[in-house]
Amino acid sequence: METITIGGLTLDFYQSRHTTHEQLDLFRMTVMPGARMPVAHYHDSWDETVLGLAGRLDFRVDGESVAITPESSLFIPRGAVHGFDNTSDAPASCLCMLTPGALGPDYFRELAALVAEGPPDPERMKTIMSRYGLIPAPEGNRQH
């Protein structure tokens, strides 16, 4: 298992596109209180499924709010703009599965390196996102 920390997010990879012949990515994500997805986005070549494990994460998917708590789940289809945050005072975690596998740990390693340099440059973040098929939401459609 590989663990990657990006600010208030920790990802523990169980499977990746590299180990599944690009069939899926499977990782646990732990989100510290006050942490959130920095850029709402969508992807048009994979679906995302989220299963709540602990705490509460507030997702927004195409403008609708969905609370993810233990044993609740969420399907995010291709093309749906989404983002999340943890507004609680406790860590929250979920299991995330991307089908087919598209990112592996590579994308998250690059983001972690960028964040480690200090406040990330939004243009560099968008460049990394684009390289891996994540499309930042248009300004008028931001989830945060």
List, for residues 12-61, the tens digit of each pLDDT value.
Answer: 999 999 999 999 999 999 999 988 777 889 999 999 999 999 999 999 99
Q: What is the pLDDT of residue 142?
A: 40
Q: What is the count of structural domains for the chain? A: 1
pTM: 0.88
The CA–CA distances, whole Å, from 63 to 51, 93, 98 equal 20, 22, 21
Q: Answer yes or no: is 84 within a domain.
A: yes
Within a domain: 144: no
| DSSP bridge partners of 95 | 28, 51
pLDDT score of 139: 56
Residue that wins the pLDDT comparison between 103 and 138: 103
Distances (CA, A) of 48 to 11, 114, 125: 15, 24, 21
With respect to residue 28, please indicate whether it lies within any of the assigned structural domains: yes
141 within a domain of the structure (yes/no): no
Within a domain: 143: no
DSSP state of 70: T
Phi and psi torsions of 27, nearest 5°:
-150, 150
**CATH number of the domain that residue 90 is part of:** 2.60.120.10
Residue 54 lies in a domain: yes
Residue 116, domain extent: 2-136
Q: What is the pLDDT of residue 140?
A: 41
